[in-house]
Structure 1
Amino acid sequence: MANTSSITAACRALLLRDFRLLWRRRGDALNPVLFALLVIALFPFALGPHPDILGRIAPGVIWVALLLAGLLSLDTLFRSDLEDGSLEQLMLAPHPLALLVGCKILVHWASTALPLIAATPLFATLLYLEAGALPVLMYSLLLGTPLLSLIGAVIVALTVGMRRSGMLLALLALPLYVPVLIFGAGSVMAAAQGLPHQGALLLLAAGLVMALVLAPLAAAAALRIALQ
């Protein structure tokens, strides 16, 4: 019981620390969110006010905007901790490193994807997405965006020791992100056309469950290797 309470206290302290640091750097933290907002808002201006066209591409536009927003902030997941030495302290802590890494992934998802998911009904209205497809879009984002953060964390952990890993990070992450994008946007498009869409959501859910178990472990192992 004491060990469980100690781990809980450590996770709570880490979450509070990361959110406080995020608030101090809120200008930089808002950049990916603002980027996604601009991408989504500019599409109606670029294509014109054609509800049929905008409604057809709405799922892909929203998904790509959220994917790129998460990718832009991915390099900062462990970078600041490496620079100030707190990453080494996490590795020396008497708590499972995978659990602490999972807390940092949660902060990344909550700061990039969650605000955009909350604004998704507004985006759907702006892009003339069919009302019946909106719940499927919300489900797909709630299942897919954490999966993107978990996959990205493993790649960041592998490249954390490199000074300029932005381009390499994108090259490694995008091939792994594409299946999530296909199933996420494809489920919404299928729902908008009245086709079966549950299979794609179930695949996203299965991938999320596997990533929740394996990604923190893999990221923790990659961090240990990268910092040796």
Structure 2
Amino acid sequence: MIALLVRDLRLAMRAGGGFGLGLAFFLLVTVLVPLGVGPEGATLAKIAPGILWVGALLACLLSLDRVFALDFEDGSLDLLATAPIPLEGVVAVKSAAHWIVTGLPLTLIAPVLAVLLHLPEGGYLWLVVSLALGTPALSVIGTFGAALTVGLKRGGLLLSLLVLPLYVPTLIFGAEVVKRGAEGMAIATPLLLLAGITAGAAALLPFASAAAIRINLR
């Protein structure tokens, strides 16, 4: 399992669409929004939680079509499906690799980029906490979408259409945590709901993803 994780991390770094692309997209979003809506600090502070979470969500979406594509193209996916390692474990490792390459760097750099959007001081901690809790769900849900579309030519658009509606609850509760934290309000309810989404996705979706891969490989 560890060898598979290391292999996927190396492939993600070499093939592009991972670490650098996600961070660059996140940076572009946070730079362009002030140019579009104006430099007023009060306006930017009000929309900052939503903009930061939307940017992180779309950055995670960029590399999803490559989660299984390279393995499918070179035949490695067939070998992984018949390997002693359960396919559900393979899917979990793929999700973890995607999060390490995309979600983790976004979580770490988000407070720096939040300065550009004038996020109130109280929201920085909860921005990191919400992204740390929510981005794993984005990777797991995205891996499920990638499993559904593996082997399809030009499946990137279909993948986006499948995954984006499933991302909505995570987006809503993640942004709400940051908003309430910035305003000094209680954050327990959206934070627990966000954690519940991540836990439920991590527990259930690897089995659904493995089943989808087996169907696509027949």
Please state which band the TM-score falls in when normalised by the shorter chain: over 0.9
Matched, 1:93 2:74: no
Residue 77 of structure 1 is matched in structure 2 by 67
Residue 17 of structure 1 is matched in structure 2 by 7
TM-score (norm 1): 0.91
Which residue among 206, 211, 214 is the counterpart of 1:221?
A: 211
Matched, 1:163 2:153: yes
Residue 202 of structure 2 is matched in structure 1 by 212
Mapped to 2, the partners of 1:21 and 1:193 lie a distance apart of: 42
Deviation, 1:49, is 2.3
Residue 54 of structure 1 is matched in structure 2 by 44
Bigger mean CA offset, 12-21 vs 190-199:
190-199
Bigger mean CA offset, 61-70 vs 207-216:
207-216
Residue 173 of structure 1 is matched in structure 2 by 163
Mapped to 2, the partners of 1:126 and 1:46 lie a distance apart of: 13
Q: Flag the structure with larger Rg.
A: 1
Residue 150 of structure 1 is matched in structure 2 by 140
Matched, 1:121 2:111: yes
AA in 2 matched with 1:219: S
Aligned-residue CA RMSD in angstroms?
Answer: 1.3
Write out per-residue CA displacement over residues 183-220 of structure 1, whole angstroms, 9 at most, x where no aligned residue: 11012112222322210010111111111111111111
AA in 2 matched with 1:25: A
Structure 1 counterpart SS, 2:39: coil
Write out per-residue CA displacement over residues 54-80 of structure 1, whole angstroms, 9 at most, x where no aligned residue: 111111111001111111111111001
Structure 1 counterpart SS, 2:107: helix
Mapped to 2, the partners of 1:119 and 1:86 lie a distance apart of: 33
Matched, 1:141 2:131: yes
Deviation, 1:105, is 0.8
Aligned pairs, number: 217
Deviation, 1:31, is 2.1
Shift in alpha-carbon separation, 1:189–1:150, aligned structure 2, 3 A: same
Write out per-residue CA displacement over residues 153-203 of structure 1, whole angstroms, 9 at most, x where no aligned residue: 111111112111111111111111111111110121122223222100101
Residue 194 of structure 1 is matched in structure 2 by 184
Which residue among 109, 119, 126 is the counterpart of 2:99?
A: 109
AA in 2 matched with 1:154: F
Mapped to 1, the partners of 2:73 and 2:44 lie a distance apart of: 44
Deviation, 1:34, is 1.0
Residue 31 of structure 1 is matched in structure 2 by 21
Indicate if the aligned counterparts of 2:111 and 2:127 stay in contact, CA closer than 8 A: no
Identical-residue share of aligned pairs (%): 50
Mapped to 2, the partners of 1:55 and 1:41 lie a distance apart of: 14
Matched, 1:45 2:27: no
Mapped to 1, the partners of 2:163 and 2:13 lie a distance apart of: 27
AA in 1 matched with 2:76: S
